[in-house]
Amino acid sequence: MLWLYLHLPSLLLDHHQSHDAPVALSTGSPPVIQQPDEQARQTGVRAGQSMATARALCPQLALVPFSDARQAELLEQLATALYQLASPLALWPPDGLLIRADRLRHLYPQPEDLATVLTQYLSQHGLNGHMATGTSPRMARLLARHGSAVCTDDPETMHHALRRLPVTATDWPARVRQRLTRMGLQHLEDLLACCPAELTTRLGPELYDDLQRILGRSGDPVQEFHPRAAFHQSLTLTRETRSTDHLKAPLSHLLEALETFLRQRQCRCDRLSLTLHHPDRAPTSLALETSQGETRAEAFLELALLRLAATCLPDDVNALSLATERTVALDATESHDLFDSGESRQQARETLLYRLRARLGRDSIQSPGRTPDPRPERCAHWQPARQRGTSTPPRSGPARPFWLQQPPQPLQRPPIRWLNGPERIQGGWWDGDYVRRDYYIALLDNGQRAWLFRNRQDQWFIHGWFG
């Protein structure tokens, strides 16, 4: 078997990397510098320094508290993104991914090919990583974590690099490593030269068994990673802000990850939940809806920016979360004309509808609807604009005008031609506003088509106009 281990020594720091200001991770109580980035190191900031010292050396330093949960979340996000490039793979918390390289020979004939693809991905996303191969998971991990850039399928080369590692490169307890050093065993080759019975007697069977797993002579179970069915990612901002312009870049980063997620699963999303987290207040949740489901990050970003522009944030934002609420599988039979010029008229209408909702609010867009009341002035009402996939059954019966005259206006001159009628409309006995009218469609002398009625007193009124 051949394994490739990807070591990410600064995953959380790389995630918060900023070109505007130096960044450092802090830990402990009282907090001290755990890991500075290159900009911070150039100003003299070092691991182990107090906050006061680091601030004195670099006043513009942005400090991010280290979080094990956030580190684990980022590791899973990276594994999800790499799943389409190199699977099967496994998580190795807190800072590593293990890839079964021998199962990828149909894609990458040589381990160097796989390493090149991974290096390109890390470079594009601003991540630092070290890779190495091994005949066992633990061998690959030790070589990568110690900086031995061995990416080969030659067992002898990998075992030679392993034997040259110091015993301090292992994950064994500090007391064990110190005891090995006092015994004069500086490198793993010194350890391998010892009698197995002597090692077992002096250091216990656990050390010997672990050494066998490193050499690949003993089984080392690996739990394969599978991406989650739903998308949910968070991003912590380096600096708090409530400016939409400053939120655009981190939001774009999340939406690009969403686009990758959707394309991997051959699906689209028509409903998203965007959560903006505040330092001292409850988070602000925004619902984003698309007209027919989307996969493109730029389409989601346009809706999100419209929604943010219409939202008054109660406080600065220090983190963003994005989650899919509903996804729809892409229709394999869906096709487009070769000379398709873009959206259909119906699609354009739906896109406009959802953009207006994002800008003005969900309940601000309404469309006319009907009630069972036969009285024309009472049968129409306003209702929320219809969503995609819903429709109002077509109305049967006599024609109705689009424009009602409220109140009805007396007819001044007789029509020049009668086009339709009469139609008797009566009702309202149940609420005390009883009407009984005979309606006609007629052409007036000015060329307009009018909807006329005659009441019980034989008076004529114009109640509506036809287009």
- Rounded to an integer, what distance in angstroms lies between the CA atom of residue 332 and that of residue 55? 57
Tell me which residue of 146, 199, 150, 113 sits closest to 7, measured CA to CA.
Answer: 146
CA-to-CA dists, residue 230 to 285, 313, 327, 367, angstroms: 18, 27, 8, 33
> Among the listed ranges 129-138, 367-376, 456-465, which one has the minimum average pLDDT value?
367-376
pLDDT of residue 415: 92
Amino acid 130: pLDDT: 95
Q: Which residues contact 188 (CB under 8 A, 6 or more apart)?
A: 162, 163, 164, 165, 166, 167, 169, 170
Q: What percent of the chain has pLDDT over 70?
A: 89
Share of the chain above pLDDT 90, in %: 45
User: Residue 69 in 3-state DSSP?
Assistant: helix
Among 68, 71, 34, 66, CA closest to 51: 34
- pLDDT, tens digit, 9 for 90 and up, residues 319-361: 999 999 888 887 654 444 444 444 555 566 666 666 676 666 6
Sign of the torsion angle spanned by Cα atoms 243, 246, 250, 251:
positive
pLDDT band at 285 (very low <50, low <70, confident <90, very high): very high
H or E segment at 244? helix 244-265
Task: Reply yes or no on whether the pLDDT at 256 is more than 50.
Answer: yes
Which helix or strand (DSSP H or E) is residue 34 part of?
A: strand 32-36
pLDDT (0 to 100) of residue 363: 67
> What mean pLDDT is predicted for residues 393-409?
76
Name residue 317's beta-bridge partners: 241
- Predicted local distance difference test score (pLDDT) of residue 357: 67
Per-residue pLDDT tens over the stretch 208-251: 888 889 998 888 889 999 988 889 999 888 788 988 888 998 99
Task: Determine the pLDDT at residue 354.
Answer: 66
pLDDT of amino acid 335: 44
Mean pLDDT, the chain, as a whole number?
86
Same fold, 3-21+61-215 and 232-330+345-360: no
Tell whether the model's pLDDT for residue 99 goes beyond 50: yes
DSSP 8-state symbol, 13: H
**CB of 53 closer than 8 Å to CB of 61:** no
Structure tokens at 281: 């207040």
Confidence of residue 204 (pLDDT cuts 50, 70, 90): confident
Average pLDDT over residues 283-307: 87
Superfamily of domain 232-330+345-360: DNA polymerase, Y-family, little finger domain (3.30.1490.100)
- Angle among Cα 301, 304, 307 to the nearest 5 degrees reads 155
Contact (CB, 8 A) for 278 and 330: no
Strands (DSSP E) contained in 40-127 are 62-65, 89-92, 96-100
pLDDT of residue 345: 58
| Residues 440 and 420 sit within 8 Å (Cβ to Cβ) | yes
What span, in angstroms and rounded, lies between the C-alpha atoms of 102 and 412? 91
**pLDDT tens, 131-157?**
999 999 999 999 999 988 899 999 999
Nearest CA-CA partner of 330 in 297, 303, 295: 295
pLDDT of residue 129: 95
On the question of pLDDT at 467 being above 90, the answer is: no
According to CATH, the topology of domain 3-21+61-215 is: Alpha-Beta Plaits (3.30.70)
Domain boundaries, the chain: 3-21+61-215, 232-330+345-360, 401-466
pLDDT exceeds 50 at position 165: yes
**Quick one: pLDDT at residue 333?**
44
Cα distance between residue 437 and residue 374, in whole Å: 11
Which residue is it, tokens 């005008």?
Answer: 401
Judge whether residue 109 has pLDDT over 90.
yes
Separation of alpha carbons 386 and 293, rounded Å: 16
* Token duo for residue 25: 């991770």
